[in-house]
Amino acid sequence: MIDAPTFADVRAAADRIRGHAHRTPVLTSRRVDDEVGAQLFFKCENLQRMGAFKFRGAFNALSRFEEEQRRNGVVAYSSGNHAQAIALAGRILGIPATIVMPHDAPASKIAATEGYGATVVRYDRYTEDREAIGAALAAERGLTLIPPYDHPDVIAGQGTATLELLEDVGELDALYLPLGGGGLSSGAALAARALSPSCQVFGVEPEAGDDVRQSIRSGRIVHIPAPSTIADGAQTQHPGEITFPILQRELTDVLTATDDELVDAMRVFAATLKIVVEPTGCLGFAAARRAAPAGKRVGVLISGGNVDLDRFAALIAG
């Protein structure tokens, strides 16, 4: 039984990442407020190091390694932002990183991960199991496996984004968060409960991949088939053993957004806030636009900005 993280762990994580992670800006827009009918505060983790909040959890987790773990190194499996986050945190802390990625991962993602100095081990996602490969590497080489969301130090690190938001703008009435496996939302809920106790906290999943909503409704972790959505950072198939009880206890509700709503949100971000946001990063705003309580103070977490420019252009033109 792993100890569930608490708000004290989020505070400790904030001390560890200080000076390494950016304290990202909070943007506002009168034009968007007028459209939505509420006062919105956008926490811009698309401007975080390596382009997403995942650097927070990765750096916090790796900072806590013992001497022997540091020497042997870390292993992670991911085709996306967690891989780059572990690679960058490893480079900063002098911890060798091995990342297990599918053969068909975008060349730009593999290049970015290798660019941070990590060793990429490729696998065939149709015939091989990445968790088994990660576990085998961990056992053979003494590497420490850091999963993308179901780990107390990862959750505590992700919570620092909401801690900063609440420190910077004060209490909120509602908060909308992109939701995949729940590391970001669990950490955010711990911070919100401590610093803004009456704040309603909403996780927002892709409509095609509502594994957390299904899990909360049925009171147990539900596994779904790999969802088809442009929100590639939230294609998780189930919440975690550690994240699920926190989400179950702390979230006001789980909402969903369609791919069309995500594209529309990408356009608003580019045209009005002048920022590039990846599809998954738009989940919170897509739901807040429809559901934000009228006239209230509403936080929207923009989780990442890693999208190839060609894909960005094709999506917003489409």
Ligand X SMILES: *Cc1c(COP(=O)(O)O)cnc(C)c1O
- Site residues for ligand X per CB under 6 A: 52, 54, 80-81, 148-149, 158, 178-185, 233-234, 236, 278, 280-281, 303-304
The neighbouring-strand residues paired with 256 are 205
Interhelix angle 259-268/309-317, nearest 10 degrees: 100
User: From CA 262, how far away is CA 185, in angstroms rounded?
Assistant: 19
Per DSSP, 229 falls in state -
**Nearer to ligand X among residue 81 and residue 294 (C-beta):** 81
Nearer to ligand X, 14 or 198 (CB): 14
Q: Is 296 assigned a catalytic role? A: no
Q: Which of 150, 153, 211, 261 is catalytic?
A: 211
What's the rounded Cα separation, in Å, for the pair 161 and 166?
9
Question: Given the complex with ligand X, which of 90 and 304 has the nearer CB atom?
Answer: 304
Is 35 among the catalytic positions? no
**Active-site choice (9, 43, 45, 54):** 54
CB of 154 to ligand X, least distance (A): 8
Report how far apart, in Å, the C-alpha atoms of 146 and of each of 90, 100, 248 are.
Answer: 12, 12, 23
> Could you give the CA distance from residue 165 to residue 180 in angstroms, rounded to a whole number?
20
Which residue is catalytic, options 159, 210, 303, 304? 303
CA dihedral 39, 303, 48, 315 (to 10 degrees): -100
Residue number of the CB closest to ligand X reads: 304
Q: What are 124's two structure tokens?
A: 């065939």
Closest distance to ligand X from the beta carbon of 256 (Å)? 14
Give the residue from 206, 153, 213 showing the smallest Cα distance to 183.
153
**Among residues 73, 209, 284, 305, which one is catalytic?**
209
- Within 13 Å and on the Cβ side, how many CA atoms surround 183? 27
Least spacing, CB of residue 313 vs ligand X, in Å: 19
- Residue 168: count of CB within 10 angstroms of its CB: 13
8 Å CB contact between 174 and 298: yes
Q: Which of 43, 45, 73, 79 is catalytic?
A: 79
Pick between residue 73 and residue 209 the one whose CB is nearest to ligand X.
209
Kindly state the smallest distance separating residue 75's Cβ from ligand X, in Å.
Answer: 18
Q: Tell me which DSSP letter residue 307 carries.
A: -
Q: Is 63 a catalytic residue?
A: no
d(CA 227, CA 22): 32
Neighbours of 272 (CB within 10 A): 14
Minimum distance of ligand X from residue 215's CB (angstroms): 13
Taking the least distance from each CB to ligand X, the nearer of 81 and 94 is 81
What is the maximum span of the chain, computed from C-alpha positions, in angstroms?
A: 57
- For residue 157, indicate whether it is catalytic: no
Q: Closest CB to ligand X among 72 and 106?
A: 106
Catalytic residue ranges:
54, 79, 205, 209, 211, 303
